[in-house]
A and B are shown apart, each in its own frame.
Chain A
Amino acid sequence: MSSSLKRLASVERGESVVIEVVGAAGAHGLRLRELGFARGRKVRVLETHDPMLCVVDQARVGLARELAEGILVQ
């Protein structure tokens, strides 16, 4: 728990992080969580442009940066 929280959108290419907070409200938040962007899950970032490309668990998910701004990770 030494490192502090940062936004998923600012994670470097190739880096792996753990999700802490999924901030997007409403339908987007629900969809993100159901696709596996839920607290405690590991995410690896493959591409950092918009949309981003992430690996959650074993699934590859394309994700708008705007949504990644609302996801806090460490």
Chain B
Amino acid sequence: MSAVLVDAASNIRRIAVAGNPNSGKTTLFNALTGLRQKVANYPGVTVEKREGTLRGYGDVTLLDLPGAYSLSVQSPDERIPRDVLLGRMADTPRPDGVTIVVDASNLGRNLYFATQIIELGLPSLIALNMTDRAASGGTPVDAAALARGLGVPVVSTVGHQTRGVDELARAIAAMDRARPPQRHWRLPPAVEGVVQRMADSLADQGVAPRDACDGLALLLLTDHRGAASQDGEDVWPAAVEGLRASAITELSRLGIDDVSELIVDARYTVINDLVDRVAPRGVAAGRAAALSDRIDRIVTHRIGGWIVFVAIMVAMFLAIFLWAEPLMGAIETGQGWLQGVVRAALPEGALRDLLADGLIGGVGSVVVFLPQICLLFLFIALLEQSGYMARGAFLMHKLMTRVGLHGKSFIPLLSSFACAIPGIMSTRMIENRRDRFTTILISPLMSCSARLPVYLTIIAVVFGGNVWLQTAVICSMYLLGVVAALLIARLLKRTLLKGPPPTFIMELPPYQLPQAGAVLRTMWERSSQFLTGAGTTIVAICIVLWALAYFPRDADGARLAAAQHSAAMAEASMEDADTLAVRLAEIENERIGRQLRQSYLGRIGHAIEPAVEPLGFDWKIGVGVLASFAAREVFVGTMGMLFSVGESQDDGGQLRSRMRADVWSDGPRIGRPIYTVPTGVAIMVFYVLCCQCASTIAVVRRETQSWRWPAFMFAYMTVLAYAGALLVYQAGTRLSG
């Protein structure tokens, strides 16, 4: 045994985990590996690659493959399971075996995928999951009979209760490397001969390991599109296309035009027989299925469905805004406290200001959204895991096709109300590239949670305290984003990303009571992704902004302020402490204002003023807008800094009253208030339509694998925002006289 210990590294066995979507694969993978998982991306496509050590067996690594219905390839991510199992994936060596998660309550369709995988010749093992649902549905599965029928071991499990997980782990650790499984069914003899010859040639040419070539030949004959090269990249050696073409010619000489259909039908015929043997339909109709039917009768109904849909959406957004508020208040208080501590602990100077204002202020401006984002992800996880999300896509499909999109686009767009980043990442499930890119390009038009503070501040400044008016204005801003997105989608699908509206085929998973652990875990994973991804950029921006406003230092101003300070102190009489305090505060504000005007930021602001003046913006708003191009979250903070609202950031009331009191200091409107209704609405419209988020641009670059699309998105949104704000302001001022 000592020989084994010497070369421990090469003795690690890598086992892939594959399965249909919703088969419980993620649940089982988590149960098998615990929390020790490594998450990365597959190169080229941005699909998550999860790896973890099998609990209790340090020498076995599990690799989670993306869920799929078959090994056919219709979108770029769908080639991952196939290419990993064939050992054709860069950076991912061919696994030593594969565990196939099969949903026992939907055996036929799951076995379609399972048999395709088994035929690729890797040692295989079936995890027969959802056995509880199958049993309660009246069709329990005979695992031993299934194992005999497929020629591979079968372990029964109930994933969410971790039943059978220990047995499964043991079976994975004991997988037999020496005996690759074989196809257990045959095509008509003439066809079989053609397939065998093709398999032999594939093996001779070294396209794939010999054991895999039987399955690969079938796959290439089934899946015309997956066989061809995709998106310009060569997936297969040139010889493969030749072999496939000659096999097809040979078959058509035998009178077979559609070999794909022939193979799929033959496979399903064998599977149907097997299912009849191992899971004979019981007399008791499934109670769970009947319940799902009853729910679906309302939820997918053409009228009832919409009522449920609107009710869910309204409840969700109300809950997000109402429940998050106290938490957000607490975070702001905590941040103020921390800034106080830092100010007290450090000597006066640039370092103290950088830490307190730049860093803590910057981090705080992101963390403050965490409650809303967590809640939104919580609801999205609930909608996904209960099975409702797919119903939403089903209902929305008809509406979405009007603008050329698929119902599935509804899911990323909904997520984008929290943050466009997770929204854009979830477009991966849209198969068609054009539909996917269109969805990506319009996602940032959904009003994300970072826009909300901008709306709230501006509304409070220009519309006063009427709650109904405020709510109406906020709702119209959300609506404006949605309408703009739909119009742009329609335009894109008719021009740059021209294509027919997609066709709907989508599985709607059975309804299921969500598991608290799984929901919280998903919520946390996504929220922390947002926090680290967006957070680092925003912190960097805050520091840069702070430095631009802080330097160069205004020595004259400081000297002048110091002189005024002493003069005021000398003049003041003892009774007049209040007047003195007011006078001193005035002097300090003047100093900060002067410092800001002559800082780099102030100079930039004055330089761009002519460009933003037609929108009703003064140089301060201009600076706020400019700073927001990195991340719109910084708008309120920047305004706070520009209005030099003293020490802590949470005195929003003071900022608002100062903004309300601000007047034009030059130009034709001199002496008149800056924050009128037209200016306020123009600011909000600008924020609705503009792509002010460096992280979004970075994600779009990653997801589209090019700079062209993010550049285009940035350009069109900026133009739209400027035009929109210009229109609103100019029309607004004309109308109000």
Report which of A22, A28, A30 forms a contact with B222, defined as CB distance below 8 A: A30
Which one of A27, A36, A62 contacts B508 once the chains associate, using CB atoms below 8 Å? A62
The reply to whether B225 and A27 form a contact with Cβ atoms under 8 Å apart is yes
Q: Decide yes or no whether B397 CB sits under 8 A from chain A.
A: yes
Shortest CB-to-CB span from A12 to chain B, Å, is: 14
Do A46 and B300 touch (CB < 8 A)?
yes
Sorting the interface of chain B by its residue count into under 10, 10 to 19, 20 to 34 or 35 or more gives 35 or more
- Which A residues touch B109, using CB under 8 A? 35-36, 56-57, 59
CB contacts (< 8 Å) of B224 on chain A: these are 26-27, 30
In angstroms, Cα B259 to Cα A30, docked, is 11
Distance in Å from the Cβ of A41 to the closest Cβ of chain B?
7
- On whether the beta carbons of A30 and B223 are closer than 8 Å, the reply is yes
CB contacts (< 8 Å) of B393 on chain A: these are: 62
- Is there a chain A Cβ closer than 8 Å to B503's Cβ? yes
Q: A31-B74, A58-B106 given as contacts; is B508 within 8 A of A63 (CB)? A: no
Is the CB of A15 closer than 8 A to any CB of chain B? no
CB-nearest residue of chain A to B289? A58
Instruction: Check A38 for interface membership: any CB of B closer than 8 A.
Output: yes
Contacts of B156 in A (CB 8 A): none
Report Cα–Cα, A30/B260, bound state, in Å. Answer: 8
Instruction: Indicate whether B510 reaches chain A with its CB closer than 8 angstroms.
Output: yes
The contact string, 1 if C-beta is below 8 Å from chain B, for chain A 30-60, is: 1111111011110000110111010111111
B279-310 CB mask vs A (1 if < 8 Å, else 0) is 00000001001001100110011100000000
Residues of B within 8 A of A35 (CB): 69, 109, 505, 507
- Asked if A67 lies at the interface with its beta carbon under 8 angstroms from chain B, I say yes
Residues 85-110 of B, flagged 1 when their CB comes within 8 A of A and 0 if not, give 00000000000000000000111110
In the complex with contacts A30-B72, A36-B108, A51-B398, A46-B297 CB distance below 8 A: yes
Question: Contact at A62–B296, with CB atoms within 8 Å?
Answer: no
The smallest beta-carbon distance between B282 and chain A, in angstroms, is 12
Complex alpha-carbon distance, A22 and B268, angstroms: 14
- The complex places the Cα of A1 from the Cα of B681 at a distance, in Å, of 69
B201 within 8 A of A: no
Bound CA–CA A7/B70 (angstroms): 26
Residues of B within 8 A of A62 (CB): 390, 393-394, 397, 407, 504-508
**Complex Cα–Cα for A35 and B106 (A):** 11
Residue B112, interface by CB 8 Å: yes
Which residues from A are CB-within-8-Å of B289? 58
Determine if A57 and B106 form an interchain contact, defined as CB atoms under 8 angstroms apart: yes
What residues on B are CB-neighbors of A31 within 8 Å?
69, 72, 74, 505
Chain A positions within 8 Å of B264 at CB level: 30, 33-34, 38
How many A-B contacts if CB must be within 8 Å? 115
Chain B residue contacts of A26, Cβ below 8 A: 224-225
| Chain A positions within 8 Å of B72 at CB level | 30-31, 34
Contact present for A38 and B225 (CB under 8 Å) = no
A64, CB-defined interface residue at 8 Å: yes
Give CA–CA (A35, B507) in the complex, Å: 8
Contacts of B300 in A (CB 8 A): 46-47, 53
Closest Cβ–Cβ distance, residue B410 to chain A (whole Å): 13
Closest to B108 in A: A57
**What per-residue 1/0 map shows which CB atoms of B108-149 lie under 8 Å from chain A?**
110010000000000000000000000001010000000000
CA gap between A33 and B108 in the complex, in Å: 12
CB contacts (< 8 Å) of A46 on chain B: these are 293, 296-297, 300
The answer to whether B507 touches A38 (Cβ under 8 A) is no
CB distance from B163 to the nearest CB of A (A): 21
A32–chain B nearest beta-carbon distance, Å = 6
On whether the beta carbons of A60 and B507 are closer than 8 Å, the reply is: yes
Q: Which of A49, A57, A58 lies at the interface centre, i.e. has the most chain B CB atoms within 10 A of its CB?
A: A58
Quote the shortest CB–CB distance from A37 to chain B (angstroms). 9
CB of B272 within 8 Å of the partner chain: yes
Mark interface residues in A12-27 (1 if CB within 8 Å of B CB, else 0). 0000000000100011
For B397, the chain A residues whose CB sits under 8 A away are 51, 62, 64
| Known A33-B265, A46-B293, A59-B109; further 17 A-B contacts with Cβ < 8 A | A22-B261, A29-B261, A30-B72, A30-B224, A32-B505, A34-B72, A36-B108, A36-B109, A40-B272, A41-B108, A46-B300, A53-B394, A55-B293, A58-B286, A61-B505, A64-B505, A67-B503
- The residues of B with any CB-CB pair to A shorter than 8 Å are 69-70, 72, 74, 105-109, 112, 137, 139, 222-225, 260-261, 264-265, 268-269, 272, 286, 289, 292-293, 296-297, 300-302, 390, 393-394, 397-398, 407, 503-510
Which residues of A come within 8 Å of B, CB atoms? 22, 26-36, 38-41, 46-47, 49-51, 53, 55-64, 66-67
Of the A-B pairs whose beta carbons lie under 8 Å apart in the complex, a sample of 29, sorted by A's number, is A26-B225, A27-B225, A28-B503, A29-B261, A30-B224, A30-B260, A30-B264, A31-B505, A33-B268, A34-B112, A38-B268, A46-B297, A47-B300, A47-B301, A47-B302, A51-B397, A55-B293, A57-B109, A58-B105, A58-B137, A59-B106, A61-B506, A62-B390, A62-B394, A62-B397, A62-B504, A62-B505, A62-B506, A62-B508
**What are the 9 closest A-B residue pairs judged by CB atoms, nearest first?**
A64-B504, A51-B504, A38-B268, A34-B70, A60-B508, A33-B264, A62-B394, A58-B106, A64-B503
